[in-house]
Structure 1
Amino acid sequence: MQIVLLFIGAYLLGSISFSYMITKGMKKGDIRKLGSGNAGATNTLRVIGVGPAICVLLLDGLKGMIPVWAALAMQYNMTAAIAAGAMSIIGHNWPVYYGFKGGKGVATTIGVFVVASFIPALIAGFFVILIIAATRFVSLGSIVFMILTPVLMFILKTIPTEAALFASLIGVLSIWRHRTNISRLLKGNERKIGH
């Protein structure tokens, strides 16, 4: 019963859309109807600016961290902890408070991965920064992070295999959420950061 309550709490936490709240609070409208239409940090950057985007990035990341921390504090294993984080990601992507229309869960997934397995997330993050700096495609960097972090979890054996497998599934979910970005990247018309 305790784990069920944790999962529900994680989903409800994940459903809080900070990009929506901040954009509305600044009287800019519904973030999901502005810019790219995505309720996340990158679109917040495009619509409002750097400061609000950083706030969204950190707060969305915290949404992924808290359930993992909570599960581990309650003595659940890493697979259960990552599953709790996944519930927050699901909440971010399909938020109950906003008609189940949310973001792509990148920052929240980063939060889950950082707490679950810091070194792989750190290494992947380093390469992602280089990729975004070189190409200015945030979506490409996000996709690389979602692939590389679970791969490094397996290679470095920082967490149990079943937990790394679950993390891989979360990565696949994020890549699937980026399917339109992937299509635009392949066609050469993906929007670059700063444009």
Structure 2
Amino acid sequence: MTLPIIAIVCSYLLGSVSFSVLIAKWLKGIDIRHHGSGNAGATNTLRVLGKGPAIGVLLLDTLKGIVAVVIGRLVADADWVPVVCGIAAIAGHNWPIFFRFRGGKGIATTIGVLAMLSFIPALIAGIIAILAIVWKRYVSLGSLIFTGLTPIFMWIYGDHLSNILGSALLFVFAVYRHRTNIKKLVQGTENRLGSNKGGVSRVR
């Protein structure tokens, strides 16, 4: 039992490495959580720093989820261990111990986790989410569609119960972290991708 616990803790610590904060500090000497939307993630990095840094943050944050699941699989045969390691990495991204528990919304890391846990259901959900983003240009809507559909497709696919339950929990995470975005979507005031760049304007 000791190894799974160590793996879960290590996954949380890995998730707590906020690449958006680090890259913004390195490139501009700023705390990205004080600029744009205030979120430490790829979308806000796009608004504040541009495409190159945003792609870097997206890939690195996704990699955190992939590595966390791999760690879980290496230390135990039980299906639940990689799932909990993945959840721990996302929790670390959202509430990073290294950055005063102020992180992002965890979607890129969730992509890495779900792709590793169950690739086909995550891929189908991801394609639908991307189409929704292209159509409506709301990243938040695409994120919610992806996290909401993946557990459904896992169930249809006949996946392990631990994967389905873990994925459903990640949808709850996503809804909670996007609660402000959901309110804006309902009100019609949510920022669309490619508009309201925000530059380095300070969050109020």
TM-score, length basis structure 2: 0.93
Q: Distance in 2 between matches of 1:173 and 1:24?
A: 27
**Partner residue of 2:123?**
122
Indicate whether 1:61 and 2:43 are aligned: no
Paired AA for residue 78 in structure 2: N
TM-score, length basis structure 1: 0.97
1:194 positional shift:
0.6
Q: Distance in 2 between matches of 1:163 and 1:118?
A: 11
**Partner residue of 1:74?**
75
Q: Which has the higher contact order (CA 8 A, sep 6+)?
A: 2
**Partner residue of 1:169?**
169
1:83 positional shift:
0.6
Q: How does 1:178-193 map to 2 (within 5 A)?
A: 178-193=178-193
1:161 positional shift:
1.7
Q: How does 1:24-173 map to 2 (within 5 A)?
A: 24-157=25-158, 159-173=159-173
Q: Distance in 1 between matches of 2:156 and 2:130?
A: 21
Paired AA for residue 70 in structure 2: W
4+ residue runs over 6 A deviation: none
1:77 positional shift:
2.4
Q: Distance in 2 between matches of 1:83 and 1:140?
A: 25
* Aligned residues of 1:78 and 1:116 also touching (Cα < 8 A): no
Paired AA for residue 150 in structure 1: P
Q: Distance in 2 between matches of 1:44 and 1:28?
A: 14
1:162 positional shift:
3.0
1:28 positional shift:
4.6
1:78 positional shift:
2.5
Question: Paired residues, what number?
Answer: 194
Q: What secondary structure sits across from 1:192 in the alignment?
A: coil
* Aligned residues of 2:14 and 2:89 also touching (Cα < 8 A): yes
In angstroms, what is the RMSD of aligned CA positions? 0.9
Unaligned runs of 5+ in 2: 196-204
1:52 positional shift:
0.6
Q: Distance in 2 between matches of 1:76 and 1:7?
A: 14
- Tell me the alpha carbon deviations over residues 73-100 of structure 1, each in whole angstroms, 9 at most, x when there is no partner: 2233232211101001010000011100
Q: Distance in 1 between matches of 2:121 and 2:24?
A: 33
1:176 positional shift:
1.1
* Aligned residues of 2:105 and 2:177 also touching (Cα < 8 A): yes
Paired AA for residue 161 in structure 2: T
Q: Distance in 1 between matches of 2:157 and 2:191?
A: 34
Q: Distance in 1 between matches of 2:77 and 2:17?
A: 25
Paired AA for residue 77 in structure 1: A
